């Protein structure tokens, strides 16, 4: 599926949390997020996101492929840490 819209660029943790309908972080450089408590914004479904900071994720029971850079990575066995 080819993207027709420009990617959404997220520059700060506060901006990321605000976009997920969550309160601002207690510290501007660190946040812990339970993605089960986030909201999905329908108009952003299928859009690409560029995050201008490091993000570490642990996704339990993830199966599938993830595009990172110019390639796809298969995570059928195990977990994905990003």
CA dist 45 and 30 (Å) reads 26
For the stretch 14-63, pLDDT in tens is 998 888 888 899 998 899 888 777 777 777 777 788 889 888 877 777 66
pTM given for the model: 0.62
DSSP state of 43: G
Nearest Cα to 13, choosing from 32, 35, 41? 32
Distance from the first to the final alpha carbon of the chain: 23
CA dist 80 and 45 (Å) reads 21
Q: Mean pLDDT, to the nearest integer, of 5-14?
A: 90
> 13: part of which helix (H) or strand (E)?
helix 13-19
């Amino acid at each position: 599926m080819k993207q027709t819209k420009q990617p959404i660029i997220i520059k700060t943790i506060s901006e990321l949390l605000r976009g997920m309908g969550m309160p601002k972080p207690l510290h501007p450089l660190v946040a812990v997020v339970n993605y089960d408590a986030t909201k999905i914004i329908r108009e952003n479904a299928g859009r690409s996101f560029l995050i201008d900071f490091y993000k570490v994720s642990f996704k339990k029971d993830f199966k599938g492929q993830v595009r990172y850079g110019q390639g796809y990575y298969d995570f059928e066995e195990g977990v994905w840490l990003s």
